[in-house]
Structure 1
Amino acid sequence: MSAQKDCEFLVKRARELVSEDPCAAKAWLITARTLYPADFNIQYEMYIIERNAERTASAGRLLYDMFINFPEQPIVWREISVITAALGLVPPNQEPVKTPEEQGKVKSKTRKGNDLRLLPCTSKAILPFCLQLMLACFKLRAFTDNRDDLSLGHVVVLLQYDWPQGEMLFLKAVDKICQQGSFQYENFFNYVTNIDMLEEFAYLRTPEGGRIQLELLPNQGMLIKHHTVTRGITKGVKEDFRLAMERQVSRCGENLLSVLHRFCINEKIIIIQSLP
């Protein structure tokens, strides 16, 4: 039996077991993915099972994996277009995300409804997908050789979801900030409430942390000029930062998904403009 037929058999067997024994179906697909990690159909079937079962976090991770490993697959981009449109991240006058093949065409074809895989239009179902997809997109810019503090800041905000799974990537972001010697992201105190992240950024300001210049407060450039004239840059800016950090620590108990939902809605324009 060829490898292709083996894959088809494993996927078919999993489909047969989904309704009566979901755990067994998942076991078949895990085995299949281990044997054939480069097969798209196996990973897509795993994603469909998790999505239909409304296990949004695991489904989001699987869709993220497909986005990274199989960007040429049209069905991946269709899933992305449904998610981003449902959450309101696609402006009314902008067409949904197109597949690589569709992007090369002058005339776009109208999609039929039965070509799309639909999810319930609720934040609980859609938001985790959207956060994973945005993280995948912003990583492309944040960790290139070119400096992009805005994308790096977005990555820090998004890594709060499903913490501590993204801790290693967060530490990579911190390393890049240390290499730069400075970091500017004026939305930091609006959306970063993770206590581990707050402690790390507070440490960066200390002599032991490298005295990294952090511009995390709105209009901090103007504040620096003000403090230079009135109280001295070191005393004034350090005091503002300390007070802002104390206020932020008191927000650590806020509902994280609500914070991230506000991030998606309030920063919609800048998010779209920042996407690769």
Structure 2
Amino acid sequence: MSAQGDCEFLVKRARELVPQDPYAAKAWLITARTLYPADFNIQYEMYSIERNAERTASAGRLLYDIFVNFPEQPVVWREIAVITAVVSGLMPQNHEAVKSSEEQRKPRSKTRKGNDLRLVPCSSKSILPFCLQLMLACFKLRAFTDNRDDLALGHVVVLLQYDWPQGENLFLKAVDKICQQGSFQYENFFNYVTNIDMLEEFAYLRTTEGGRVQLELLPNQGMLIKHHTVTRGITKGVKEDFRLAMERQVSRCGENLLTVLHRFCINEKIILVQSLP
């Protein structure tokens, strides 16, 4: 039996088990997803079971994974459109009831604060920027506390690239914090930071005029330092690696920023979730 045939069999078997033993059906699909992690039908069937059982939390997580991994599937956008339509229907209509003269004379109370419900177009170009702004708002809470958190601070630097230079003041605040610390470690820097102004600022921090801040921005830089100490000297080796990495990064400044940030959200999903306050 082919891989496609195996997937179809596993999905069919899970559907048959749902009415009598939903836990067994879920076990079949978990096994199927482990064997075939790139199959859309298996993941969508898992989502459908959770949705139909009204387990909204798990259904939401599964729908998010499907959206990230299979954004080209029309059925995914139909699901999102249905959810958007339902949420839109919860919004109150813009009309006012007829008030009596006594009610009109009463002083109006202040509007009660509540949750903010914002509707955005169902497209990646609209949803991704909104998500980036939400993540930035969350990571700022951890990055600029008295406690040192280089990971959150690095996430802030990456996210501030969107809508640059509106976030320049916050970026300079991050640079000041790094200078006060005297060192900074963020090994994903060269994977996702392509803003030329930011690259120039970090290159300056390494100089004598910039304070000779110790920057660990290369993956496994601790191992590199150990290697250079043995072979050719720590100062010469690490400086050369940093210079070459900066030169390569400058050549990436023309990359599509939303593509870079989308890759950041997908590849670093686990770290991002763990870093949230």
Which range, TM-score by smaller chain?
A: 0.5 to 0.7
TM-score under structure 2 length normalisation:
0.59
Given that residues 186 and 218 in structure 1 are in contact (C-alpha distance below 8 angstroms), is that contact kept between their aligned partners in structure 2?
yes
Give me the whole-angstrom Cα distance separating, in 1, the residues matched to 2:206 and 2:61: 37
- Pairwise CA distance, 1:123: 1.3
Equivalence for 2:234: 233
Equivalence for 1:19: none
Pick closer, same or farther for the CA change 1:89–1:118 going to 2, 3 Å. farther
Given that residues 189 and 244 in structure 1 are in contact (C-alpha distance below 8 angstroms), is that contact kept between their aligned partners in structure 2?
yes
Q: Which has the higher contact order (CA 8 A, sep 6+)?
A: 1
Q: Deviations over 1:55-101 (max 9, x none)?
A: xxxxxxxxxxxxxxxxxxxxxxxxxxxx998765999xxxxxxxxxx
Give me the whole-angstrom Cα distance separating, in 2, the residues matched to 1:113 and 1:265: 27
Equivalence for 1:126: 127
Equivalence for 1:139: 140
Give me the whole-angstrom Cα distance separating, in 1, the residues matched to 2:161 and 2:61: 20
State the SS of the aligned residue for 1:144.
Answer: coil
Q: What aligned pairs does 1:155-194 form with structure 2 within 5 A after superposition?
A: 155-194=156-195
Equivalence for 1:203: 204
Give me the whole-angstrom Cα distance separating, in 2, the residues matched to 1:166 and 1:173: 11
Give me the whole-angstrom Cα distance separating, in 2, the residues matched to 1:138 and 1:118: 23
Pick closer, same or farther for the CA change 1:231–1:156 going to 2, 3 Å. same
Equivalence for 1:32: none
- Pairwise CA distance, 1:125: 1.4
One-letter amino acid of the counterpart of residue 197, structure 2: D
Aligned pairs, number: 175
Q: Deviations over 1:22-46 (max 9, x none)?
A: xxxxxxxxxxxxxxxxxxxxxxxxx
One-letter amino acid of the counterpart of residue 201, structure 1: F
Pick closer, same or farther for the CA change 1:117–1:208 going to 2, 3 Å. closer
One-letter amino acid of the counterpart of residue 138, structure 1: F
State the SS of the aligned residue for 2:218.
Answer: coil
Pick closer, same or farther for the CA change 1:229–1:89 going to 2, 3 Å. farther
Q: What aligned pairs does 1:219-230 form with structure 2 within 5 A after superposition?
A: 219-230=220-231
Given that residues 156 and 170 in structure 1 are in contact (C-alpha distance below 8 angstroms), is that contact kept between their aligned partners in structure 2?
yes
Say what the alpha-carbon RMSD is for the aligned residues: 2.6
Give me the whole-angstrom Cα distance separating, in 1, the residues matched to 2:274 and 2:191: 19
Given that residues 84 and 130 in structure 1 are in contact (C-alpha distance below 8 angstroms), is that contact kept between their aligned partners in structure 2?
no
TM-score under structure 1 length normalisation:
0.59
Given that residues 149 and 184 in structure 1 are in contact (C-alpha distance below 8 angstroms), is that contact kept between their aligned partners in structure 2?
yes
- Pairwise CA distance, 1:129: 0.4
Equivalence for 1:264: 265
- Pairwise CA distance, 1:120: 4.0
Q: What aligned pairs does 1:76-87 form with structure 2 within 5 A after superposition?
A: none
Pick closer, same or farther for the CA change 1:89–1:273 going to 2, 3 Å. farther
Given that residues 185 and 215 in structure 1 are in contact (C-alpha distance below 8 angstroms), is that contact kept between their aligned partners in structure 2?
yes
1:252 has 2:248 as partner? no
Give me the whole-angstrom Cα distance separating, in 2, the residues matched to 1:219 and 1:89: 32
Q: Deviations over 1:206-255 (max 9, x none)?
A: 00000000000000000000000001000000000000000000000000
- Pairwise CA distance, 1:119: 3.9
Equivalence for 2:274: 273
Pick closer, same or farther for the CA change 1:266–1:158 going to 2, 3 Å. same
Give me the whole-angstrom Cα distance separating, in 1, the residues matched to 2:216 and 2:66: 27
